[in-house]
Amino acid sequence: MISEPELVDDTAFPAAETVRMDPPPRAPRPRRPWLWALGGAVVASAVWAGGLYAYERSQDGGPDLGGYRTVENLCARAELKALSVELGEKSTDAETPTEKHPALDRARCSTTLGSPETGYSAVVVYDLHKVTDPGPEFEPRIAESGTDTEPVAGLGERAFFHRDEDDSGAWMRVLDGQVELEIWIYAQQNWDAETNQSLPSTKKVDLSGIDTVLAQDMKALMAALKK
């Protein structure tokens, strides 16, 4: 308790002043963390989902190949029965060894339809993509060929057909999930050393309606590659 001021030599000392001790100013409160926490949760969720996706792919061995598998004998699978009726029976086969890679397997078969001297040559290509999706690049690469193409309904996810105006050749390409397929027929050429020019050796036929023939053989090939 503070007493009254004392007198010393009749002199009054002023009353003691009460000193007010104010508390130090508080540091500003941090912003509520819910906004960045929510953002962090979203990022964490995306990272988790991506990690789960990568984990699931590592567990199941990669994308779904839709029943397709690596083949060692593409010429045997590509019987080309419809083309054989139209252009002649297969007379020669030349199979390239399957190229195997962790991301891509490629098989290729070359054959002749009809007489080896005057028939059409045919090439069958089978690309099995075991890691990446070939879909986004399928149509752009066809467009890069600079040839007129027609879409083909009822074959895989997407399919295109091209026929040369002079009936020197035609091709059909199909995308079916992780697989790209191509059947290509073309007229053979011989090289004349005296004239330094190429001479056609194939006896050309009217290729009108060859798209239907190619589609039949493509469907049969797709089924055979899943066996």
Per-residue pLDDT at 15 exceeds 90: no
Question: Do 168 and 204 meet the contact criterion of CB atoms below 8 Å apart?
Answer: yes
Nearest to 72 by CA among 54, 95, 40, 51: 95
| pLDDT, position 137 | 95
pLDDT digits (tens, 9 = 90+) for 148-197: 999 999 999 999 999 999 999 999 999 999 999 999 999 998 877 778 78
E-only strand ranges, the chain: 7-8, 11-12, 90-100, 104-113, 120-129, 150-151, 158-163, 169-176, 179-187, 189-192, 197-200
Residue 213 has what pLDDT?
A: 98
pTM for this prediction: 0.71
What are the structure tokens assigned to 49, written together? 């989902």
Nearest-angstrom CA–CA distance, 218 and 214: 6
Distance, in Å, from the CA atom of 169 to the CA atom of 175, rounded to the nearest integer, reads 21
